[in-house]
């Protein structure tokens, strides 16, 4: 998301579409959040990639504990679209649930942890 650590990867080769949500739960993993399966909605940002090669860069940045897959997202306007999302598939022993699924509300300042 804008203002957070990995946004630098998106900033130069994507276009911000808008805010949206996807089905699932959000956990705080210490230095970053993780989307996991579950009942609820997770808020985030949707981008259109200007360069398809960016997917490989994002895969590397996200790392082996995150798997990219297609999901239906709902834009703030209510319109639905298919988008790539990264789901966390690593260990969860120390993960802390973010009940409302809104990382920006839980951590409003840019990530520096």
Q: What is the pLDDT of residues 67-99, one digit of tens each?
A: 999 999 999 999 999 999 999 999 999 999 999
Kindly state whether residue 1 falls inside one of the protein's structural domains: no
Q: Domains in the chain: how many in total?
A: 1
The model's pLDDT over 45-65, given as tens digits with 9 standing for 90+, comes to 999 999 989 999 999 999 999
Q: Report pLDDT for 111.
A: 52
Tens digits of residue pLDDT in 4-19: 888 888 888 999 999 9
Q: pTM for the whole thing? A: 0.90
- Domain coverage including residue 36: 7-106
- Residue 58: inside a domain: yes
For residue 113, being part of any structural domain is answered with no
Alpha carbon distances (Å) from 47 to 7, 19, 38, 42, 75: 11, 9, 23, 16, 11
Q: What are phi and psi of 18, to 5 degrees?
A: 160, 180
């Amino acid at each position: 998301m804008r203002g957070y650590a990995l946004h630098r990867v998106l900033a130069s080769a994507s276009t911000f579409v808008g805010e949206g949500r996807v089905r699932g739960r959000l956990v705080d993993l210490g230095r970053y959040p993780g989307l996991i399966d579950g009942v609820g909605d997770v808020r985030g940002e949707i981008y259109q990639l200007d360069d398809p090669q960016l997917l490989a860069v994002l895969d590397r940045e996200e790392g082996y504990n995150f798997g990219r897959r297609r999901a239906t997202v709902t834009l703030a306007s209510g319109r639905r679209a298919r988008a790539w999302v990264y789901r966390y598939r690593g260990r969860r022993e120390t993960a802390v649930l973010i009940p409302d699924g809104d990382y920006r509300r839980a951590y409003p300042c840019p990530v520096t942890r």
